[in-house]
Structure 1
Amino acid sequence: IVRNEVFLALGYYVTESSGHFSEYSPWFRKREDLLQEYCYRGTSWNTGRTNFTVEVREERARNFPQELHKFLTEPIDLSRGNEYASRIFNAMLGDGALYKFNGNVRNFGLVDNLPHGACVEVPVVAGKDGLMPVHVGKIPDEALPLMSLSSQIEEMAVRASFEGDPELVYKAICYDPLTSAVLSLREIRKMVDELFAFSKPWLPQFKGLK
Structure 2
Amino acid sequence: MLKIAMIGAGSIGFTRRLVMDILAVPEFQNAQFRFMDIHEENLEMAANLCRAMIEKNGLPATVSAALDQREAIAGADYVFCTARVGGLEAFAHDIEIPLKYGVDQCVGDTLGPGGVFFALRTIPVLLDIARDMRELAPGALLLNYSNPMAMNMWALRRAGGVRAVGLCHGVQHSHALIAQALGLPKEEVDYTAAGINHQTWFVQVSHRGRSLLKDILPAMEKNPDIAEKEPCRIDVLRRFGYFSTESNGHLSEYLPWYRKRGKEETAKWIYDKVWIGGETGGYLNHCLSSRDEYRDNYPKWLNGELEFIKLGERSEEHGSYILEALETGRVYRGHFNIGNRGLITNLPDGCTIEIPCYVDRNGIQPTFTGRLPLACAATCCASVSVQEMAVEAALTGDRELVKQAVLHDPLTAAVCTTDEVWRMCDEMFDALAPWLPQFNGAGRTWADIPLPDDGRLRRAQLAGE
By the TM > 0.5 criterion, same fold? yes
| Corresponding residue of 1:16 | 246
2:295 maps to 1:61: no
Higher relative contact order (CA 8 A, sep 6+): 2
Residue ranges of structure 1 left out of the alignment (5+ in a row): none
Distance 1:81 1:69, change over 3 A: same
| Deviation at residue 16 of structure 1 after TM alignment | 2.1
State the Cα distance separating 1:54 from its structure 2 match.
1.2
| Residue of structure 2 in register with 1:150 after alignment | 383
- State the match for 1:84 in structure 2: 318
- After superposition, what is the alpha-carbon deviation per residue over 1:71-101, rounded to whole angstroms, capped at 9, x for unaligned? 323344222122111111111113x211111
Deviations 1:122-149 (A, max 9, x none): 0011111111111100112122211011
Alignment-mate amino acid for residue 337 of structure 2: N
CA contact (8 A) 1:160 1:166 kept: yes
* Aligned-CA RMSD value: 1.8
Residue of structure 2 equivalent to 1:121? 354
- Supply the AA of the counterpart residue of 1:124: C
Q: Secondary structure, in 3 states, of the residue corresponding to 1:124?
A: strand
Q: Tell me the equivalent position of 2:327.
A: 93
Between the aligned partners of 2:381 and 2:299, the Cα distance in structure 1 is: 47
- Looking at structure 1, the residues matched to 410 and 323 of structure 2 have their Cα atoms a distance apart, in angstroms, of 37
**Alignment correspondent of 1:6:** 236
Deviation (angstroms), 1:11 = 1.2
CA distance in 2 between counterparts of 1:72 and 1:113 reads 52
2:427 corresponds in structure 1 to 194
Other-structure match for 1:37: 268
Aligned mates of 2:257, 2:345 — CA distance in 1: 27
The secondary structure found in structure 2 opposite 1:82 is: coil
Deviation, structure 1 residue 208: 6.9
Counterpart secondary structure, 2:344: coil
Bigger mean CA deviation after superposition, 10-19 or 150-159: 10-19
Greater shift, 48-57 or 74-83, is seen at 74-83
Instruction: Please say if residues 355 and 367 of structure 2, whose CA atoms lie closer than 8 Å, have aligned partners that are also in contact.
Output: yes
Q: Which of 334, 338, 363 is the equivalent residue of 1:105?
A: 338
Question: AA paired with 1:200?
Answer: A
For the pair 1:132 / 2:362, whether they are aligned, the reply is no
Within a 5 Å distance, the mapping from 1:67-78 to structure 2 comes to: 67-74=297-304, 75-78=308-311
CA contact (8 A) 1:102 1:122 kept: yes
Letter in 1 for 2:291: A
Residue by residue over 1:16-60, the C-alpha shift from the partner in whole angstroms, topping out at 9 and shown as x without a partner, is 221111111011111312221111358x87211112101221133
SS where residue 292 of structure 2 aligns? Answer: helix
Given that 2:275 and 2:286 are in contact with CA atoms closer than 8 Å, whether structure 1 keeps it comes out as no
Cα deviation code 1:87-121 (max 9, x no counterpart): 11111113x21111111111112111111111000
* Segments ≥4 residues shifted beyond 6 Å: none
Structure 1 stretch displaced more, 174-183 or 11-20:
11-20
The partner residue of 1:46 within 264, 276, 299 is 276
Aligned counterparts of 2:441 and 2:324: Cα–Cα separation in 1: 47
Q: In 2, distance between residues paired with 1:34 and 1:176? A: 20
**1 CA distance for matches of 2:331 and 2:283?**
35
Q: Distance in 2 between matches of 1:146 and 1:76?
A: 39
User: Is residue 166 from structure 1 mapped to residue 396 from structure 2 by the alignment?
Assistant: no
Contact 2:433 2:440 in 1 (8 A): no
Unaligned runs of 5+ in 2: 1-230, 443-465
Q: Cα 1:11–1:137, aligned 2, differ >3 Å: closer, same or farther? A: same
Question: Could you tell me how far apart the structure 1 residues matched to 2:232 and 2:356 are?
Answer: 24
- Quote the Cα distance in structure 1 between the aligned partners of 2:419 and 2:336: 38
For the 8 Å contact 1:170–1:192, the answer to whether it is kept is yes
SS at match of 1:122: strand
CA contact 1:115–1:152 (8 Å) conserved in 2: no
* C-alpha separation in 2, matches of 1:45 and 1:139: 30
Q: Which amino acid aligns with 1:65?
A: R
- C-alpha contact (below 8 Å) 1:87/1:99 kept by paired residues: yes
